[in-house]
Amino acid sequence: MQYFVRTMEKHKESSGAFSTELPCYGPAAAKAEVKRLVLSANPALLQADACARNGEVVQTKYRCWINERGEFRESVLV
């Protein structure tokens, strides 16, 4: 199983495309990197996902973003 992080801009001018995948050593490292990326980004513009790849199947395990009110939001996805 491979773990990685991907980001997407979250504003109306965005194409909705994910950025280049950043490989991580495990789920905890991926989750920490996702939080770091979102908290260091321009508020309300970035969503980041921690994902796992098993062969051709990709599953998003964790997602976080800053909402329109500037609040940090997160969701664990199974």
pLDDT tens-digit series, residues 10-22: 766 666 777 889 9
3-state secondary structure of 31: helix
Read off the pLDDT of residues 26-50 as tens digits, 9 standing for 90 and up: 999 999 999 999 998 876 668 899 9
Check pLDDT > 80 for residue 57.
Answer: yes
Check pLDDT > 80 for residue 7.
Answer: yes
**Structural domain of residue 24, as residue ranges?**
2-76
Q: Is 5 left (phi over 0), alpha (psi -120 to 50) or beta?
A: beta
3-state secondary structure of 11: coil
- Mean pLDDT value of segment 22-26: 94
Check pLDDT > 90 for residue 9.
Answer: no
- Mean pLDDT value of segment 54-70: 90
Provide the domain count of the chain: 1
